[in-house]
């Protein structure tokens, strides 16, 4: 009897397949207003929208779980009230976890609102009557506004960690909202910053991009600081444009998914996935996924 009990006690219980994750959606494209960052959901360090940390998923082996990386939203040129808002970023998905794409920045013109999303798009200039784009709860924040009574400086897009800045003066566009830092990859990295608002006329200045890959808004009279796109695989919003010189529409940045799981398991990804899984460290493997389509999957064995 003692030998049987000893044998039973010597058998280790299997390690549960518990997966921590970071799921960042694609950032919205800029127009006049800065694009909103992609929604951010995370189980390590911090999550988006000022929410409490997400809960790691308890999964089963030999089961396929959906995996999608959100595409960047397309920027839009909207000089003189024409054109359109920036395009929305694409949603990112891991299993049951879905992060919403960032909202596009608003075009210039009265009554035009920023687009809603993971984080909301900023208002364009001369935009009385419009409302800032709204962020999604526990994913990101709202966009920023323009300055009433002044033309040609726009609001910044919302970030996962802070609202987009309202233009602080009649010559300075709003900065994009800050992103969120997480150490899920083993070092602290910031994701999902909002795009800075664009500017036009004279020496007006575009807004800075939010930390975490937000694009800079374009300056208003020259192309010295013509603006920039959101950073690839950071989910940042695209910077707002300038309508001087040769206007450029700044896209958002694509999203990313990072998965952390016990090193006794091996992840298998479907053929359309671009990912890296370095050697295990501290009892865990960490897979960073930078591209995956709507029909892609991951499973464990």
% of the chain at pLDDT higher than 90? 79
- For 27-68, how does the pLDDT look when each residue is reduced to its tens digit (9 = 90+)? 999 999 999 999 999 999 999 999 999 999 999 999 999 999
Mean pLDDT in the chain? 92
Lowest average pLDDT, out of 78-87, 91-100, 251-260, goes to 78-87
- For 118-171, how does the pLDDT look when each residue is reduced to its tens digit (9 = 90+)? 999 999 987 778 999 999 999 999 999 998 766 689 999 999 999 999 999 989
Cα separation, 255 vs 25, whole angstroms: 4
Residue 175 has pLDDT above 70, yes or no: yes
- In order of 6, 40, 268, 290, 291, the CA distances from 159 in angstroms are 56, 9, 32, 20, 22
CA angle 143, 145, 147 (to 5 degrees): 160
Helix, strand, coil share (%) of the chain residues, nearest 5: 5, 20, 75
Cα separation, 191 vs 181, whole angstroms: 6
For residue 195, give the nearest of 130, 152, 140, 147 by alpha carbon.
140
- In order of 49, 134, 141, the CA distances from 137 in angstroms are 6, 9, 8
Q: Where are the domains of the chain?
A: 22-301
- For 220-255, how does the pLDDT look when each residue is reduced to its tens digit (9 = 90+)? 875 567 799 999 999 999 999 887 666 777 999 999
- In order of 58, 119, 258, the CA distances from 214 in angstroms are 33, 12, 19
- What DSSP letter does each residue of 125-178 carry, written as one string? SS-TT--PPPPPTTT--------TT--SB-PPPP-SSSPPPPP-BTTBPPPPPP
């Amino acid at each position: 009897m003692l030998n049987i009990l000893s044998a039973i006690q010597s058998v280790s219980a299997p390690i549960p397949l518990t997966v921590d994750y970071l799921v960042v959606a694609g950032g919205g494209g800029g127009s006049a207003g800065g694009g909103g960052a992609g929604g951010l959901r995370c189980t390590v360090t911090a999550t988006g929208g000022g929410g409490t940390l997400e809960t790691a998923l308890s999964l089963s082996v030999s089961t396929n779980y959906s995996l999608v990386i959100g595409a960047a939203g397309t920027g839009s040129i909207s000089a003189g009230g024409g054109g359109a808002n920036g395009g929305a970023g694409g949603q990112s998905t891991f299993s049951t976890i879905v992060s919403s794409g960032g909202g596009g920045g608003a075009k210039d013109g009265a009554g035009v609102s920023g687009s809603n999303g993971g984080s909301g798009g900023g208002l364009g200039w001369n935009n009385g009557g419009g409302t800032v784009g709204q962020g999604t709860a526990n994913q990101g924040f709202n966009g920023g506004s323009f300055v009433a009574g002044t033309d040609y400086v726009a609001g910044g897009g919302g970030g996962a960690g802070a609202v987009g800045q309202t233009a602080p003066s009649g010559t300075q566009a709003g900065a994009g909202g800050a992103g969120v830092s997480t150490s899920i990859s083993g070092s602290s990295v910031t994701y999902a910053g909002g795009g800075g608002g664009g500017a036009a006329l004279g020496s007006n200045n575009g807004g800075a991009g939010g930390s975490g890959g937000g694009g800079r808004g374009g300056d208003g009279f020259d192309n010295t600081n013509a603006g920039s796109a959101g950073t690839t695989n950071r989910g940042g919003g695209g910077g707002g444009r300038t309508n001087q010189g040769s206007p450029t529409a700044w896209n958002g940045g694509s999203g990313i998914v990072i998965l952390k799981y016990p090193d006794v398991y091996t992840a298998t990804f479907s053929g359309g996935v671009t990912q890296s899984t370095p050697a295990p460290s501290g009892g865990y493997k960490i897979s960073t996924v930078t591209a995956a389509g709507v029909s892609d999957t991951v499973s464990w064995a």
